């Protein structure tokens, strides 16, 4: 199964991707995690990305595509993947199609988790206290939400127009949201 997870910051993409990875037995590719690893390692790429990420802007398409190409060149992605955090604008959506076409692949579904902004702000304020992620400050969260509306929401519209989008309510207990996703992508399977 090849899945693309879409949704605003804090909508639960990473949380559900961890569960989906176990369930589908395919790798979870989070572009945010890949970037945070570069920042933590202090690599040249990480140094370039650090400030951009902290203010909640998008890192350049070129850097992202390079990272993604490297990740997709690895053997473990052949059987499938859960892509979390990419594409984030229409240019990235086109780049993903091209990258997959080059590998003779297509994704099976784009799942958009929908959560209202009030709940997102509450979730990310909770995470800011618990984990202190650099981009979970109130200003950065506000900015990330506006970047999502301006740049990433059009990707969901694009996939909708092409009949590739499945919208899932992301509000509720983790198990409930997970069951909704499975139902959406795999209606014949019981969630165990």
Residues designated catalytic:
13, 88, 127, 133, 144
One of 123, 159, 165, 181 touching ligand AP5 (CB under 6 A): 123
Q: Does 99 bind ligand AP5 (CB under 6 A)?
A: no
- Write down how long the chain is: 192
Q: Looking at the DSSP assignment, which residues form a beta bridge with residue 114?
A: 169
Which region, judged by CB under 6 A, interacts with ligand AP5, from 21-29, 57-65, 73-81, 97-105?
Answer: 57-65
One of 26, 59, 65, 165 touching ligand AP5 (CB under 6 A): 59
One of 3, 4, 6, 7 touching ligand AP5 (CB under 6 A): 7
> How would you list the strands of the sheet with 28-30, edge to edge?
28-30, 81-84, 2-7, 109-114, 165-169
One of 6, 12, 72, 110 touching ligand AP5 (CB under 6 A): 12
**3-state DSSP assignment of residue 84:** strand
Q: Does 127 bind ligand AP5 (CB under 6 A)?
A: yes
Q: Does 174 bind ligand AP5 (CB under 6 A)?
A: yes
Report the C-alpha gap between 174 and 15 in whole angstroms. 8
In the complex, what is the shortest distance from the CB of residue 14 to ligand AP5, in angstroms, rounded to a whole number?
3
One of 1, 37, 52, 125 touching ligand AP5 (CB under 6 A): 52
Report the C-alpha gap between 153 and 172 in whole angstroms. 22
- Cis upstream peptide for 87 (omega within 30°): yes
Q: Does 86 bind ligand AP5 (CB under 6 A)?
A: yes
Q: If you write DSSP's letter for every residue of 128-171 in order, what string do you get?
A: HHHH--TT-SHHHHHHHHHHIIIIIHHHHHHHHHTT-EEEEE--
Report the C-alpha gap between 122 and 118 in whole angstroms. 6
Which region, judged by CB under 6 A, interacts with ligand AP5, from 5-13, 75-83, 102-110, 161-169?
Answer: 5-13
Footprint on this chain of ligand AP5 (rule: CB under 6 A): 7, 9-15, 31-32, 35, 52-53, 56-59, 64, 85-86, 88, 92, 123, 126-127, 135, 144, 172, 174, 177
């Amino acid at each position: 199964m090849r899945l693309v997870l879409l949704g605003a910051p804090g909508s639960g993409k990473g949380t559900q991707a961890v569960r989906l990875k176990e369930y589908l037995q395919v790798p979870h590719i989070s572009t945010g995690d890949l970037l945070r690893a570069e920042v933590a390692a202090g690599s040249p790429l990480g140094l370039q990305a650090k400030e951009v990420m902290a203010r909640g802007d998008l890192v350049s398409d070129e850097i992202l595509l390079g990272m993604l190409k490297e990740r997709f060149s690895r053997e473990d992605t052949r059987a499938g993947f859960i892509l979390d955090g990419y594409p984030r604008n229409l240019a990235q959506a086109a780049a993903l199609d091209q990258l997959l076409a080059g590998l003779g692949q297509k994704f099976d579904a784009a799942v958009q988790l929908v959560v209202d902004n009030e709940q997102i702000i509450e979730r990310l304020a909770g995470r800011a206290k618990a984990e202190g992620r650099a981009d979970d400050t109130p200003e950065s969260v506000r900015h990330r939400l506006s970047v999502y509306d301006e740049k990433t929401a059009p990707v969901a519209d694009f996939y909708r127009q092409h009949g590739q989008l499945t919208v899932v309510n992301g509000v509720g207990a983790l198990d409930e949201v997970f069951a909704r996703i499975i139902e959406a992508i795999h209606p014949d399977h019981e969630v165990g």
